């Protein structure tokens, strides 16, 4: 089998919670040797963010599910770099690395000589990625950054939720996850530059920047029109009908993306006259008259059962879907066929649950060789690699 694409690349992760560890986990999936440096006094905060906790077959607490969501494939070493000896060991380890990821507050590592300017003197090729709430510059640079706060400040919550209702956050920490993904993109670009030139660089990643950037078409809706988009519930500002609709036994998603799909939808539900009505025959017309359109569609769908309607829409190539729980999503035949659920052997007789990364590569498949590490599990092994003995 071919090697994973980042085999041979070493990453030092000085990161906690989600954005930094998410980036580290993805690099580990891609084959990098990711060494998670944790404080001996408890390690990553998310180890305790439960319940639920992952329990070993002998009843051992193997840390919270949250921790396991973002730390697969890594090795863990415990070092207290506020101690001179451990700090020296860490620097020795960093000298062997290609990449460092950290999410300390602005200048939080400078007093230990672990900032980029200090470390590039001992490792000129080092790609050093700093992840903070607001970046290394600007009036908010010194502030702590939390996903919830960033969802609010970025504009995301202003377009999420029912019209006129309380602004809503997304049900997962998307600002952290987007920042982790953007970080990996930047890290790989910087790694290529370092391989070509021998020069590393400092990557400045901010949760606020990432979440603003990820608002996509909604940003341009504002920049072009001058009007800030508002909450629309499950409706779409630019397309109709593209929303959640009630049926006899629940709700479905109807995602009509063009006029042809709308015509086929109308035929399925016996509303063919709508397709020729000038109020609804084109997408701009449907967007303008969305309220009248929804009333007509709701009335007709009240007689349809979810399963039968979805089957008819699929046969007629009209995009629609059920609204699954997470349990139903993992039980879906497509998710099963794609192998989204993983079970990883921890070498101690336990099979730990995990979720496959979404990249499928034909030539350099990803690596899922180990689950999330126990606190300090690889300390002795890693210290031996740099010629040090554990205490």
Strands 242-247 and 127-132: unpaired
**3-class SS of residue 110:** helix
Distance CA 292, CA 283 (A): 14
Distance CA 225, CA 69 (A): 40
Question: Which of 80, 176, 249, 277 is labelled catalytic?
Answer: 176
Distance CA 333, CA 318 (A): 20
DSSP letters, 16-41, are: -TTHHHHHHHHHHHTT-EEEEEE-TT
Active site includes 176? yes
What single DSSP character describes residue 6? T
Distance CA 174, CA 184 (A): 15
Give the largest CA-CA distance in the chain. 80
Reference 154, options 137, 172, 136, 169; nearest CA is 169
Distance CA 341, CA 332 (A): 11
Distance CA 322, CA 300 (A): 18
Distance CA 236, CA 274 (A): 20
Do the beta carbons of residue 159 and residue 168 sit within 8 Å?
no
Hey, which residues are catalytic here? 176
């Amino acid at each position: 089998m071919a090697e994973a694409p980042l085999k041979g690349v070493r990453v030092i992760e000085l990161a906690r919670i989600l954005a930094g560890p998410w980036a580290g986990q993805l690099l580990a999936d891609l084959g990098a040797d990711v060494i998670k440096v944790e404080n001996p006094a408890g390690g990553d905060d998310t180890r305790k963010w439960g319940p639920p906790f992952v329990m070993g077959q002998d009843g051992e607490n193997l840390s919270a599910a949250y921790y396991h969501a973002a730390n697969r494939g890594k090795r863990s070493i415990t070092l207290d770099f506020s101690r001179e000896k451990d700090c020296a060991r860490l620097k020795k380890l960093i000298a062997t690395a290609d990449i460092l990821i950290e999410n300390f507050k602005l200048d939080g590592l400078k007093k230990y000589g672990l900032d980029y300017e200090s470390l590039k003197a001992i490792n000129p090729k080092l790609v050093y990625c700093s992840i903070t709430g607001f970046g290394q510059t600007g009036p908010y640079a010194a502030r702590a950054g939390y996903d919830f706060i960033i969802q609010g400040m970025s504009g995301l919550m202003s377009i999420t939720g029912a019209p006129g209702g309380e602004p809503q956050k997304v049900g997962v920490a998307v600002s952290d996850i987007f920042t982790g993904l953007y970080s990996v993109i930047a890290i790989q670009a910087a790694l290529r530059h370092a391989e070509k030139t021998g020069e590393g660089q400092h990557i400045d990643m901010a949760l606020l920047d990432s979440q603003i950037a990820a608002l996509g078409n909604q940003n341009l809706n504002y920049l072009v029109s001058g009007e800030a988009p508002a909450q629309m519930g499950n409706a779409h500002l630019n397309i109709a009908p593209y929303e959640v609709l009630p049926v006899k036994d629940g709700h479905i998603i109807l995602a009509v993306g063009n006029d042809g799909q709308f015509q086929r939808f109308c035929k399925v539900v016996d509303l063919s006259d709508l397709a020729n009505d000038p109020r609804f025959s084109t997408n701009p017309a449907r967007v303008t008259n969305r309220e009248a359109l929804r009333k007509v569609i709701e009335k007709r769908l009240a007689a349809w059962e979810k399963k039968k309607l979805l089957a008819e829409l699929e046969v007629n190539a009209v995009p629609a879907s059920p609204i699954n729980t997470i349990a139903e999503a993992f039980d879906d035949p497509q998710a099963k066929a794609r192998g989204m659920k993983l079970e990883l052997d921890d070498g101690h007789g336990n099979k730990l649950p995990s979720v496959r990364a979404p990249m499928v590569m034909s030539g350099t498949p990803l690596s899922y060789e180990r689950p999330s590490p126990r606190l300090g599990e690889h300390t002795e092994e890693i210290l031996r690699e740099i010629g040090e003995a554990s205490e």
